[in-house]
Structure 1
Amino acid sequence: MSEMPWKLYRFKYEDYPEYSARITGHYAGDLLIIEEEGELSEEAVKLIKSALGIDENTRAFDIEVRDVLRLPIKELPEKDRKVLLEAAEKLDSESKLHIEYRYQPTFD
């Protein structure tokens, strides 16, 4: 079984209006919604980092809408390509993708 320790999230900023803020006792402004889109393999993350000029030791990074065309889609393993493309289709000017290393030890 291959481990996929990299998580792919979509960060979306929603407006949190003042009237809602008053009712809930929170501040008005942007509200960050984080949605997990899937997992990526080590190989895919290495290819993405290389294409975007991100240091190979970086444990978390963002992909903005403007970066999507620079992604090495054809070079990615099939499973990773599918996850990344599905997440990228949901992007708009108020959102971005976030890739983060999530080590989960096994005890077997």
Structure 2
Amino acid sequence: MNNSTTTGWIDIAAADAVPAGDVIGVEVGALDIALFDVDGTIHATDNSCTHGDGRLCDGFLEGHEIECPLHQGKFDVRTGKATHAPVNKPVRSYPVKIENGRIWLALG
């Protein structure tokens, strides 16, 4: 991982690091980030469930929703919105862009 920044964006992974229709976890400094591939589009959120601290990268991705592996709460990976109980607080989502075969994340 290359943590160099270009105009507020951080290079976090190769674009092909996230398998189609799947999720991976990556560390960005002190942050734990989940990267999701939904229909060829990469999305990013914090990797920790807001309900029980389960790692979302260990959950089940179905369409645009990730299910927490601990209590089956769900989030929309595009926005971070909580979509299924017991979660009721959104998870932070991040802007993502793909450039030169790399995934770039905006933390601001």
Q: Computing the radius of gyration over CA atoms, which structure comes out larger, 1 or 2?
A: 1
TM-score, scaled relative to structure 1: 0.25
Higher relative contact order (CA 8 A, sep 6+): 1
Indicate the structure with greater strand content: 2
Flag the structure with higher helix content.
1
